[in-house]
Amino acid sequence: MTTSRDVIILCRDRRPTVGVDRRTIEGLLVWGSHLKNRWLVRDPSGSASTARIKSKIENNVTRPEWMGGNRFGLFDLLNYLLNDRRYVHEPGSDARFFDPLGIPTGTSIHLYDHLRKGGFNPINVENLAPNRREMEKHLRGDPLAVVISATFFIDAGPMARIIGAIRAVNREVPVIIGGSALLTRLTPERRLTADYEDLLDERGFAILEDPGLERLNALLDILAAGGDPGAVPNTARREGGRVAYNPGPCGEADVETTFPDWPAVADITGGVAFVRASQGCAFRCKFCTFPSANVKPRHRSTESIRRELRAVHDAGIRHFSFTDDHFSVSPRRVEEICRMMIEERFGFTWYAGIRASSITAENAALLEEAGCKVLSVGLESGDDRMLKLMNKGTTAAGNMRCLEILDRHRILAHGSFIIGFPGETVESVERTVRWINDSPLKLYKVWLFYLLPGSIIHDEQEKHDITFFGGSYGHCLWRTPTFDALQGSELLKDVILRVERAALLYNYSPMYGFFPFFLRGYSAEQVVDFCRLRTALVKNELGTRSPFRRLGRRRSLLRRLEGMLAEGPAEAGR
């Protein structure tokens, strides 16, 4: 038994530089990673063994020689230039550094706040990779427990590594895993799948309830008092080598009142708040896993959002992001929330992900007035047939209208596209490129389709005649009668080269793309300029055949970027 009330929180295991999950080809292909300018190249033999694919994925655009063979994301590039063309991947004491991971996740803030309210002493280590020493120091101090959130982990692997790192220092500390993502790993009998059960050692616990925060505090109280942890409902733990479950009724969080006491946690926010206006999604786009997450769509009242935003404002935070699956759904609700923000004169700079169908000329004016700077819009394709096949519920013309309206209101749209959804052809990709070039879109990202377990299309494999090749990474390497992953990958490169004005922005999401800039006073337009120059560099590496011309153009683009960095933020100049 420990008398300590210290509880360590961990949510991620990422290096500060916004890079790639390189553990598996899946990581490279799917989770936005290969799309940082990686693609597959068809083997001359026409086959694609895993080894060959692996060796072909690395290329000089992803890790250019002139960056010392290091990663070449937007922040990697800017940090390189800020540090006299030296690759710097962590914010050392003397480094000038854009640190996107310096902004902690909303998840850890929620956990921190709840633990604090429960009378514990939360320690937000948050991200293991850069804070390993700090975690080890706290582990040696005999804390009450470590809490790990499953939110950002797409499989059990990273959590197993985190638990391994904890156990290397402290074999006794209880490790509690939980979060709504864990519920998507339950079998119909409400047991964890084997890989997640393996995470539970003799001092391991899982909370199988969403959000499960009351259960968490109850379990911690029992652990502190030396009671029977098996008494807490909806938990799992290892007992005598087997995992024991204690099912119970599930509580439901009151979405109206459950939000952090922002002023009390202001010091650990990194200057950005993550606010949830709704949960779940009622749409059924076939490529998406959100509908299968089984979260009943729930919307918070505008009054409740008002209360949370007031708290954010009182905490001195001036930037926030809505973390909804998609923000607000109906045009009227967008209007209502914006009117509330205008009424309050918050003066926030904010971001959200939205469907094109939620934008109208009326609400765009309000969005602008309410301080919305960037919206991610799932555009997916410029081809109506593809939008229909995806069950997107939008049209190319409707999407275009949305972009034009946002452009008129100086709200930056960041469009996301998918290449290779079943039914895709060379012609439909061609239409998408033309559509982008005809649109006012300034920023975009383009993903290679991948069959996500949990998506509707995953259950329609037979109907679409989807087959796989490529051994253990087969699920990434799909083939349909009209298209395959390799062709898609080649076309991806083609798309990047042929999109004329819109610039690439990956970095997971614009959330991370923008806030590190906004926090320093850079404007959205300046971010677009950075992205444009980086995209020009990418295209140069990809498409300029002559080494001599490539070098010359690279030099001039790098000098221009350095010039922009030297000019500094627009806000600072005012």
Stretch that binds ligand B12, among 344-352, 383-391, 440-448, 509-517 (CB under 6 A): 509-517
Best CA proximity match to 163, nearest among 206, 121, 214, 192: 206
Q: With respect to ligand B12, which residue has the nearer C-beta, 323 or 439?
A: 323
Q: Residue of minimal CB distance from ligand B12?
A: 178
What angle, 0 to 180 degrees and rounded to 10, lies between the N-to-C axes of helices 547-567 and 524-543? 170
The one of ligand B12, ligand SF4, none whose footprint includes residue 285, by CB under 5 to 8 A per kind, is ligand SF4
Say how far apart CA 132 and CA 137 lie, in whole Å. Answer: 9
Q: With respect to ligand SF4, which residue has the nearer C-beta, 156 or 402?
A: 402
Among 212, 229, 371, 382, binds ligand B12 (CB under 6 A): 212
Token digits of residue 456? 């509707």
Please, which residues have CB within 8 angstroms of residue 566's CB and are 6 or more apart in sequence? none
Q: How many residues are present in the chain?
A: 574
Say how far apart CA 28 and CA 41 lie, in whole Å. Answer: 14
Best CA proximity match to 17, nearest among 100, 81, 133, 84: 100
- In angstroms, what is the minimal distance from the CB of 288 to ligand B12? 8
Question: Which DSSP symbol is given to 445?
Answer: E
Residue 276 makes contact with ligand B12 by CB under 6 A: yes
Other Cβ atoms within 10 Å of 317 Cβ, number = 20
The one of ligand B12, ligand SF4, none whose footprint includes residue 207, by CB under 5 to 8 A per kind, is ligand B12
Q: What is the distance, to the nearest Å, from the Cα of residue 376 to the centroid of all Cα atoms in its chain? A: 12
Stretch that binds ligand B12, among 50-58, 147-155, 343-351, 405-413 (CB under 6 A): 147-155
Contacts with ligand SF4 by CB under 6 A: the residue count is 11
Other Cβ atoms within 10 Å of 344 Cβ, number = 14
Say how far apart CA 107 and CA 153 lie, in whole Å. Answer: 12
Residue 291 makes contact with ligand SF4 by CB under 6 A: yes
Residue 297 makes contact with ligand SF4 by CB under 6 A: no
What residue type is 157 in one-letter code? Answer: G
The CA-to-CA distance between both ends of the chain, in Å, stands at: 58
Residue 290 makes contact with ligand B12 by CB under 6 A: yes
Residue 300 makes contact with ligand B12 by CB under 6 A: no
Residue 292 makes contact with ligand B12 by CB under 6 A: no
Residue 211 makes contact with ligand B12 by CB under 6 A: yes
Residue 234 makes contact with ligand B12 by CB under 6 A: no
The one of ligand B12, ligand SF4, none whose footprint includes residue 291, by CB under 5 to 8 A per kind, is ligand SF4
Give the Å distances, CA to CA, from 499 to 417, 441, 483, 491, 574.
Answer: 12, 10, 21, 12, 34
Residue 34 makes contact with ligand B12 by CB under 6 A: no
Say how far apart CA 164 and CA 328 lie, in whole Å. Answer: 40
Q: Note whether 406 and 362 are within 8 A (CB).
A: no
In a 10 Å sphere around its CB, with 0-12 CB exposed, 13-18 middle and 19+ buried, how is residue 392 labelled? buried
- In angstroms, what is the minimal distance from the CB of 265 to ligand SF4? 28
Pseudo-torsion of CA 496, 499, 501, 506, nearest 10°? -30
Among 508, 529, 554, 564, binds ligand B12 (CB under 6 A): 508
The values of phi and psi at residue 239, to 5°, are -140, 120
Among 77, 491, 511, 538, binds ligand B12 (CB under 6 A): 511
Among 151, 269, 416, 428, binds ligand B12 (CB under 6 A): 151
Residue whose structure tokens are 């633990």: 115
- In angstroms, what is the minimal distance from the CB of 268 to ligand SF4? 29
Stretch that binds ligand B12, among 52-60, 104-112, 414-422, 468-476 (CB under 6 A): 104-112
Stretch that binds ligand B12, among 40-48, 196-204, 211-219, 486-494 (CB under 6 A): 211-219
Residue 99 makes contact with ligand B12 by CB under 6 A: no
- In angstroms, what is the minimal distance from the CB of 283 to ligand B12? 13
Q: Which residues bind ligand SF4 (CB under 6 A)?
A: 281, 283-285, 288, 290-291, 325-326, 355, 378
Question: Which residues contact ligand B12 by CB under 6 A?
Answer: 12, 14, 21, 31-32, 103, 105-107, 110-111, 147, 149, 151-154, 176-181, 207, 210-213, 216, 253, 274, 276, 289-290, 323-325, 508-509, 511-512
